[in-house]
Structure formats: C-alpha cells, structure tokens
Amino acid sequence: MPSEPMFSPWPHRHRAWLAELYLHTLFASRERACTLTGPRGCGKTAFAKHDLLPFASTHGIDTHYVSFGKASTGAPYASTGDGTSMTTAGKPVPASTTSILLGSLGHREPHGSTVDRVLDQAPFAGLSHVIGAMSECLAAAPRQAILIVFDDVEHLSAGEWMTLASFLSVQSAMRASPTWRVFMTSSRLPWQSSGTLPSSVDTLGRIESLPHLGEDFLHAAAQWVASRANGHDMPIEALRTTWSAVGRSPQLFRDTVTRLTCGDAPSLAAAERDVRRWAIARHYTESGLGRLSDLQAAVLRAVWRSGAELYVADRRAAYAHAIGVEHVSKTEVQGAIKRLERLAFVHRDPSGRYVLNSTSIDALFGLDAIERHDQARALALSARHERDARLATANVPAPTTASEDIRSGMSRPHLALVR
C-alpha cells in the first residue's frame, strides 16, 4: 500500500455551481453544444476533468474527454507533415498527443484525477484516429445520453474542424439519445485559420469565457504552502498580490508558489518576476508575433485595448510614436490590419469591432502590461534612492515627491518583445 504523501497535492477548487450552470445552458441549447474559452493555463482542463464531467456523471450521463493538445517541447516547432514536429534545433519531437479518457468518474485516482481509464493516448495521426475510437464508444451505448468534452480544439485546422463537425452531426442524427458537446479552446475561433466562418460554426453553440477563480482558491493555496513549510502560513495579502502579478493564471500562480517553496527563488517577488518573464517569452514565441512588423505589432496591441477606431488620427499618432516614425497613414493601418487577418491574429465580430483570435495573446499583453508597470516602478524607486543619496551627501533636504522620476521611468519601455 503506498504511503501517504508528506504534503497535500496542489489544491483544486471545485466549482460544482459553475458546472451546473454550464450544463443547464448546454441542455437547453438548440445545438446541444457550448464552447468555453480562456488563455492557456487558466484552468479549463482541470475544470472539465474535476467539475464538469463528474457533475454530469452523477446525473447518469456517460462522459467522454478528447484532447488535441500538443506536447510541450520548450521550443517553437513547425509541422513536418508526417506526424512529428521539428524544433529549431532540428530534432524530431511528438507533434501532438490525442487522449480519449472515459469515466466511471466516481473513482478518484491519486493526485486528484477524476478520470480512471485511458482508452487511447498516442501521437496524433489525424482525425480518423479520434473518430474511429469515438464511433466505437458511441455505438456501445446507443440509448445512453452522452457528454463529450473536446479540449484544445484550437489545434485543429479548418478542414479537420469541418470533418469533426460533420461526424458529430451524423452521430447526433443517428442516436436515439442526446449527444452533448463541450468545446474548450484558447482561441475565439475553433480552428487555425482566418477568413469567412464556415456554416459549421453553429456546432460551437454558445461561447462562454471561463471565469477566474475566486478568493477561496487563494485560501486553499495558503493552506498548501503551510503544508510545505512546516505549518508556517503565508499571508493571504502576499498571495493576493502574486495572483494579480501573474495575471490571475492558476498555472502561473502554481508555478510561482512552487518555485518559492522548492527554494528556486529567494522571495515571492523574485519568483513572480521569473515566472512572468518566462510566460511572456513563451507566449511570444508560441503566438508567432515575431512575424509581425513594428506597425502590425502596434496595431495588434490597439486591438487588444479596444478593437475600435483603429484609423483615427490619435491612434495613428500613437502608432507613429510607438514605432519611431513621423506619420502613419490610414492606408498603412489598413494594410497592417489585412495582414493580421491573413495571419489569423484578428477577426471582426458581428458588431464590426476587431478582436484577437487567441485569448493567449490577451494574456501575453496583460502580463506585458504588468511587467512594464513593475519595471517602471523599480526605475522610479531606483532614481529616487540615487537622488536621495546625492542630496544627503550635499546635506540638502529631499523633496517630498518623486513624480518627475515616476513619469521618466514610465516613459521607458522594458521590453522589445511586445511593442
């Protein structure tokens, strides 16, 4: 019999109320589908496995989970077309892993997993692999209500998405009992392309953003820290500051706290900076922002801020200032937007406003804004200390404000990665 762990596993805050809300929405929808969006690391997969699927299972629904998530390589990779990817070093790595997990979700595995059997997990060789396995599962219970969660669908191409949508449509028509679908994605589009939305977009149902975790999650994290630190509590105020400093990302928050408790960082503030800068670099690499010109990057940031009035004179003056030129014309802005659309960075919503396709780019800009503020504050503090030291040497009283230093510090961008 395995021994008990020395400390509790990382806490998962169950949100049965949210699972119930989404399932009621799902059951009432004409499409028998809904979509949950959120940036990578926001807790979508944990919510599906630990809350949504178990709640459905307790109501007599057969539950299935399919993930199209790519294997993490720590380096940018490009498809070779043969089921592998090539890193920048030229070494082949698994391109993607398709997991189809089935419950009996009443059984809880060690480390908190709520799914007790892996039907299949292999390098992703195409949708035929998934569809074949799902056909067998659905045929085995023709009169049983079924809920399928499709995770990481942003990795599907437009053609793969159309194939999946057709398969689900046929299965829904053939089965006597309902087949409900939940799609989970970090993208506001369900496929890796831009352009006109195909008719199968209706398959997505209602699109919802997964809300952030609440205060109870921070209290659970404080208890976890105490279990790792011989009962010594961490002030909840410090954890609340960290939560904001990493953009309220559960994954980055966990990485920050773990980095501290494992002794890999001298302080919580240092752990925050390390994790945040790593996340900015990762998001920047994975999103492909390096392909953009200075103007395109500036326009993309403007889309993140509002997505409206991208051509007005004040905006164009801001673009010019950001990229260091005297003037930016409307034609140049239009060309930048067209390229952003072609590269699938943005699309227009029904109201005509431009929006980012990827919620992970939302997260990137948010983290970058936090980092800019943090570095501006550090610059202002350093400048004030230097001035106070000079004044003390000259035996002159220090002024009561450092507003000019703060303004000077905030005018200096910290990072060339995100313009």
pLDDT tens figures, 287-330? 889 999 999 999 999 999 988 889 999 999 999 999 999 999 99
Helices assigned H by DSSP within 29-116: 44-47, 53-58
pLDDT number for residue 411: 29
**Closest-CA residue to 358 (of 34, 78, 37):** 37
Residue 86, pLDDT above cutoff 80 = no
**Three-class SS of residue 299?**
helix
Helices (H) and strands (E) in the chain, counts: 14, 12
pLDDT tens-digit readout, 93-104: 334 445 555 443
Between 197 and 231, name the one with better pLDDT: 231
What is the widest separation between alpha-carbon atoms in the chain? 88
DSSP per-residue letters across 178-194: -EEEEEEESBSSSSS--
Specify the pLDDT at position 338: 95
CB 213 within 8 A of CB 43: yes
Whether residue 410 is predicted with pLDDT greater than 80 in this model: the reply is no
Nearest-CA neighbor of 333 among 344, 136, 322?
Answer: 322
**Global pTM?**
0.74
**Candidate CATH numbers 2.40.128, 3.40.50, 3.20.170, 1.20.120; the one for domain 16-209:** 3.40.50
In 15-153, alpha helices (H)? 16-28, 44-47, 53-58, 127-139
Domain ranges in the chain with CATH number 3.40.50: 16-209
How high is the pLDDT of residue 286? Answer: 85
Q: What is the pLDDT of residue 249?
A: 92
Q: Check whether 91 has a pLDDT greater than 70.
A: no
Residue 232 pLDDT exceeds 70: no
Given this model, what pLDDT does residue 193 score? Answer: 46
| Mean model confidence pLDDT for the chain | 76
For CATH 1.10.10.10, the residue range(s) in the chain are 288-357
Structure tokens at 229: 């630190």
pLDDT at 100: 56
Hey, which CATH number is domain 288-357, 1.10.150.120, 3.90.1200.10, 1.10.10.10, 2.70.50.60? 1.10.10.10
Going by C-beta distance under 8 Å and a sequence separation of 6 or more, which residues neighbour residue 400?
A: none
- What is the spatial distance between Cα 393 and Cα 347, in angstroms, rounded to a whole number? 58
The residues facing 37 across adjacent strands are 185, 209
Q: Mean of the pLDDT values across residues 408-416?
A: 32
